[in-house]
């Protein structure tokens, strides 16, 4: 599977929606669930950005 921008965004969205759905339907208080979900989104986007930049670096250094 070749990861281009569309495939990467789709995979990220599916994984995030599964995790967010589990977090939001848990028996935690609603404000806590929303805060955790936002934190997961920010962490996921930062991790995705760092991973893409690392992949670009690895691809260009060969």
Position with higher pLDDT, 46 vs 3: 46
pLDDT of residue 59: 86
pLDDT of residue 3: 77
pLDDT tens-digit profile of 11-57?
Answer: 999 999 999 999 999 999 999 999 999 999 999 999 999 999 998 89
Checking if the pLDDT of 4 tops 90, the result is no
Report pLDDT for 2: 76
How far is Cα of residue 18 from the mean position of the Cα atoms in its chain?
11
3-state secondary structure 9-60: HHHHHHHHHHHHHHHHCCCCCHHHHHHHHHHHHHHHHHHHHHHHHHHHHHHH
């Amino acid at each position: 599977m070749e990861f281009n921008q569309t495939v990467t965004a789709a995979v990220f969205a599916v994984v995030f929606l599964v995790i967010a759905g589990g977090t939001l339907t848990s028996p935690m208080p609603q404000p806590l669930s929303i805060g955790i979900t936002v934190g997961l989104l920010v962490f996921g986007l930062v991790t995705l950005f760092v991973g893409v930049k690392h992949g670009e670096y690895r691809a260009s250094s060969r």
